[in-house]
Amino acid sequence: MKNTLLRITLGLGILTMTGTALAGGMSGNLAVKGSDQDVSGGTVVTDMVMAEKNGWLVVHRTDKAMKPGPVVAYAPLKKGENNDVVAILTESVESGDMLMLMLHGEDGGMKTGIFEYTLGAKEDGPIKVDGKLVMDVITAK
């Protein structure tokens, strides 16, 4: 009886830990990593973006308040790991400007493969994990 109870307890503990690891792994699969960089060539390049499905890398203006501002660049992403993603700037960015590199989805819009987001809209909107944006902030040089 003691051995059976111990096996059941251990089994439940392993199942609980596995479920927790899988849940954490799902949010852990989303990431945006960037580095401060020279943007005088008209592009912003991310080091790496990890996406659970096809979507968008979106570059927002930001400041010390760390709120996403207007979109200044975007680029398509494929599901999985995306390295050295290049987004072409649609307006000028000066040295010292802070840029928020953010993961956006491809959901809710009218057309697949066309970036339809405008600030505050739901179409092709930001991806959040536990209420937090999946993003990184860099400074233009």
Q: Is residue 63 part of a domain?
A: yes
Q: Give the residues of the chain that fall short of pLDDT 50.
A: 4-27
Distance CA 132, CA 118 (A): 19
pTM over 0.85, yes/no: no
Q: Is residue 14 part of a domain?
A: no
Q: Is residue 118 part of a domain?
A: yes
CA-to-CA dists, residue 41 to 89, 132, 140, angstroms = 9, 31, 11
Distance CA 31, CA 18 (A): 22
Q: Is residue 12 part of a domain?
A: no
Q: Is residue 106 part of a domain?
A: yes
Residues of the domain holding 56: 30-139
Residue type at 126 in one-letter notation:
P
Q: What is the mean pLDDT of the chain?
A: 85
Q: pLDDT by residue (tens digit) across 4-43?
A: 444 444 344 443 333 333 332 234 589 999 999 999 999 9
3-state DSSP assignment of residue 57: strand
Size (the chain), residues: 141
Q: Is residue 86 part of a domain?
A: yes
Q: Is residue 99 part of a domain?
A: yes
Structural domains of the chain, count: 1
